[in-house]
Amino acid sequence: MTDLVQIVAVTVSSLLLLVVLDLVRRRRLTEEYSFIWLVCAAALLGLSLWRESLHTVARWLDVHYPPAILLLVLVLFVFVASLHFSLVVSRQRQQIERLTEEVAILAARQREVSQAPEARSPSDPAPEPSRGPA
């Protein structure tokens, strides 16, 4: 790895680290979802600063241009991060659907409560006991 490449690599990974930390500081990025980026930036920074580690991994993988390892690590992390966020989106989807259902049910209960008893037809089933707030 040449000095120039190392300088660029260290600068870029430091910048990534600082940007992510600042986004968390400003509450634009929640702590939970910042971890994968922080680990990525830290790994890249570590590999950039510590030349020997980069060369060791390159030798091990029979890669003749050590900075290619940085690229490999970056691509791998971006892939893992994308997959991770697909999982997060899936879970949030489930939560949103659940909340939507609860809102609809709450609204129905609200209507039942505000309806005068005479307005309800004798064939209406009795409403289920509420599990909502007291």
Partner 1 sequence: MKVLALIPAYNEAASLPRVVSELRERWPALPILVVDDASSDETPALLPGLGVRWLHLPVHLGLGGALRAGLRYARSLGVDLVVRVDGDGQHEAGEIERLLEPIRRGEADAVQGSRYLDADGHPEAGPRRSAQRALGTLMARVTGQPVTDPTSGSWALGPRAVRLLGEYHPTGYPEPELRLFLARNRLRVTEVAVRMRARLAGRSSLTAPRAGLALARVALALVVVPLRAAAEGSPRD
- C-alpha R_g of the chain: 27
Region binding partner 1 by CB under 8 A among candidate stretches 46-54, 59-67, 68-76, 126-134: 126-134
17 binds partner 1 (CB under 8 A): no
Q: d(Cα 39, Cα 104) in Å, to the nearest integer?
A: 41
Of 65 and 112, which has the nearer Cβ to partner 1? 112
Here the contacts of 71-74 (C-beta below 8 Å, separation 24 or greater) are 73/43, 73/44, 73/47, 74/40, 74/44
Give how many residues touch partner 1 by CB under 8 A: 20
Of 27 and 64, which has the nearer Cβ to partner 1? 27
80 binds partner 1 (CB under 8 A): no
Neighbours of 70 (CB within 10 A): 23
- Residues forming the site for partner 1 (CB under 8 A): 21, 24-27, 30-32, 34-35, 38, 95, 98-99, 102, 129, 131-134
